[in-house]
Amino acid sequence: MKKSFGAFLSEKRVLKDISLRHFSKIIGISPEYLSKIENNLRPAPKDIVLEKIADKLSLSIEDREILFDLAAESKAKLSLATDLVEYIRENEIVHKTLRLAKRCKVTTEEWQEIFDNIAKKHL
């Protein structure tokens, strides 16, 4: 089962051995608000707070991406991780490619081929 934003955040904070009260203070939100987030009673905070969370927890690139994806999923309205929105906005070809893929109904298998080609070349 996929973790929620709150569970992911709580796990990473506890692994760093940082109390909820101390962590809330260093990221600039109230302990009550952080508790509600970690208990999935509130969605993820604004992007500026997400950046502080990622920085203060010294998250790896992969964990930062997970944090932002889970944050987007926690929102009531349809949302996409901020780093992806910025990447799409900054790269017109990515935007065009996504539109074309949607129009052509690119399958999961075709996307997997694209993913595998990029991973093979760059990872």
Secondary structure (3-state) at 118: helix
Distance CA 9, CA 69 (A): 12
Up-side HSE of residue 71: CA atoms within 13 Å toward CB?
21
The two three-digit tokens of residue 107, written as one number: 């399958």
pTM: 0.81
* Architecture in CATH for domain 5-77: Orthogonal Bundle (1.10)
Cβ contacts of 98 within 8 Å, gap of 6 or more: 88
Q: pLDDT (tens digit, 0 to 9) for every residue of the chain, 123 residues total?
A: 789 999 999 999 999 999 999 999 999 999 999 999 999 999 999 999 999 999 999 999 999 999 999 999 999 888 889 899 999 999 999 999 999 999 999 999 999 999 999 999 999
Distance CA 54, CA 94 (A): 26
Q: Domains of the chain: which residue ranges?
A: 5-77, 91-122
